[in-house]
Amino acid sequence: MSYFVNNFIAKLLVTAGLLSVVISVHAASSVPNLSVISDSDIRNSAIAFVNTSTSPGLEGATINVDTDDRSSEQLRSSLGFSAEFTLKKHIFNGYWGLAIVGGSLDDKIDVIADTGEQVALDIRRDVIGLSGSLGLSFPVDQYFKLRPFISLGVADLRTTTEVDGLPITDASGETKTLTIFDTSAYMGSATATLDATYSRWFNDNRLEMSAQYNLINTELISGDNSVLNTTAWSQTAMLKARYSGATSLVTDGRPWRWLAYASHTNFLSFDKASLGYTGLFEIGAGMEWQMNIKPLDWFGWQSIGLSFGVITSRDVEGYNFGLTAR
């Protein structure tokens, strides 16, 4: 479990017994002279943004896309916890998790209007939500573990989109920028996840590898525009390797460990036009303080620390700097 907070203030939404993902999305009225923008484009972009901000396994990051016709900055944040708990008389354990998730997007895209003029779309999106997970953890052998679980939650997305280059003139004769989206909606998401992990010690060093697959269903619950009145399925796949070792540093009798990691995330169902990327590669390092406390069977802390990672992909660069906790 890890979390990253970057220019984002999370609001805790606690509703007893509620584990569902909700999304708030802007939809639009008819846009004159911009037939290049379809309802499908609006849906795909909004769903891609929400899923890249709230899906299980994704951590905080700042992601920048820079192409000839697009410039965007996406912030992704998460604050959460996950743990296993003992199921008596069973060889497998239970698994649960809870997280506040969210993100923001400033996206500037150049398109050609029906009039032949080049116009600029200026898109601003913000999402915040609460997600919960529940499942099982099966030990295959002393190193390998399979963990299937379901995640549900709540979220709120708000979007504002303006068009520069297609000015409108009001009654006073002044020219103003056209605002085509300024709405919000609530949606629900359910995610089925299969997580496979491998962990092995080599004296004081530890190798951890994981592979995760997510199948996500997103559906509109309520909203003020019918464009997003849809049910959409999407998939993500993640691979991660992590290697850690002992150091000579000790705080309050507990040791510090160094770590290095690399990961790849593939958004299998997204078109590149939605956010400017379909996959991300990250490499980083950090330090962790070993706590190894478990006051309750279903709750405990293994370590806390700091890490920094560099994110890259085609036309993409970014970073991840934040607090880790496991």
Which pLDDT does position 11 carry in this prediction? 35
Query: How would you label 202-211 residue by residue, b for 16+ Cβ within 10 Å and e otherwise?
Result: eeeebeebbe
C-alpha–C-alpha distance, residues 140 and 145, integer Å: 5
Neighbouring residues of 253: CB distance < 8 A, sequence distance ≥ 6: none
Q: What domains appear along the chain, each with residue ranges and CATH number?
A: 2-325 (2.40.128.130)
Which pLDDT does position 325 carry in this prediction? 73
Residue numbers in the chain where pLDDT is lower than 50? 1-30, 173, 175
Q: Which amino acid is at 131?
A: S
30 three-class SS: coil
10 Å Cβ neighbour count for 29? 10
34 three-class SS: coil
Task: Identify the burial level of 76 via C-beta atoms within 10 angstroms of its C-beta, where 0-12 means exposed, 13-18 middle and 19 or more buried.
Answer: buried
Which pLDDT does position 105 carry in this prediction? 93
User: Is there a contact between 71 and 106 (Cβ–Cβ < 8 Å)?
Assistant: no
Residue 300 vs residues 67, 82, 98, 179, 316: alpha-carbon distances, Å: 45, 9, 14, 49, 37
Which pLDDT does position 89 carry in this prediction? 85
Q: Please write the tens of the pLDDT for every residue from 253-300.
A: 899 999 999 999 999 988 888 899 999 999 999 999 988 777 666 666
Which pLDDT does position 288 carry in this prediction? 93
Which pLDDT does position 106 carry in this prediction? 93
Largest CA distance in the chain: 78
Give the pTM.
0.81
Residue 151 vs residues 39, 55, 116, 203, 215: alpha-carbon distances, Å: 28, 9, 46, 36, 10
Which pLDDT does position 231 carry in this prediction? 78
Structure tokens at 17: 């017994």
Which pLDDT does position 174 carry in this prediction? 53
